[in-house]
Amino acid sequence: MTINFSPRRGVSRTVMALVVAVVAVIVALGMRWFAAAPLVNQHSTGSSIIAFGDSITAGSGAGRGEDYPSQLSRMADVEILNRGVPGDTTAGGLARLERDVLGSDPRIVIVCLGGNDMLQRMEPDTTFANLEKIIRRIQSSGALVVLVAVDGGFLVGGGHGKRFRELARQTGVVFVPDVLAGILTSPKLKADQIHPNGKGYTIMAERIYKALKPHLPSADGKP
């Protein structure tokens, strides 16, 4: 007696092919949705644009008017409030958020924090939890957030570019990756080991402006 299993094998191959195809479609759609996640508060109605951060925002290492917020302000032809505090950590930023940001009716807030956490070897989970709290609280005020990643290999404990990117995707913010790339490894662009000079801040401003520019016209709900 001979039993032929070939039809069942054929059915199995067909089923497996269908399963693979369905999974591929789900993954493709999921990736498309994930990459196209909408920005939160793209049409903010606040009145101020604020650069919020540490010494990199304050402009340490550069002359008057050479800090990146001042240069970005000139590029964008809008006033940008500089709320950078040298030495600040994400915990410090969270503590002064109400005073320095939320109390100023923000329309757009550029967040550039985390470098000092890395230099002080703080727990990355704590750093990114603080950053998420900062972002969520700013968004709850109705403002659009621009997250600037400080992730150069010069930082002790650096190398968190993926976590910055994931946080940006999860929270629906405008994202500027590794803003100091190539700056602090070039003697011509830095004032010391951890701060750019005026030319370095120019490059920072250009990178942030490129990401911010498409959102400036629509940030107040105008076309």
Q: What is the CATH number of the domain that holds 207?
A: 3.40.50.1110
If one compares 69 and 160, the residue with the highest pLDDT of the two is 69
Q: Which of 183, 185, 146, 177 is nearest to 161 (CA)?
A: 177
If one compares 124 and 45, the residue with the highest pLDDT of the two is 124
Number of domains into which the chain is organized: 2
Backbone region of residue 27 per phi and psi (left: phi > 0; alpha: psi in -120 to 50; beta: other values):
alpha
Phi, psi of 109 (to 5 degrees): -125, 125
> How confident is residue 38, by pLDDT bands cut at 50, 70 and 90?
confident
Tally Cβ neighbours within 10 Å of residue 64: 8
Amino acid at 175: F
Same-domain check for residues 100 and 5 = no
On whether the CB atoms of residues 197 and 189 are closer than 8 A, the answer is yes
Residue with tokens 């999860």: 170
pTM for the whole structure: 0.81
pLDDT of residue 92 exceeding 70: yes
Q: What are the pLDDT digits (tens) for 181-199?
A: 999 899 999 999 999 999 9
> How confident is residue 166, by pLDDT bands cut at 50, 70 and 90?
very high
Same-domain check for residues 30 and 99 = no
Task: Residue 79: give the domain boundaries.
Answer: 48-215
Residue 37 has what pLDDT?
A: 59
Same-domain check for residues 198 and 109 = yes
Ranges 7-16, 126-135, 151-160, most confident: 126-135
Evaluate whether residue 161 is within a structural domain: yes
Evaluate whether residue 222 is within a structural domain: no
Same-domain check for residues 20 and 59 = no
Dihedral sign, CA of 175, 116, 67, 79?
A: positive
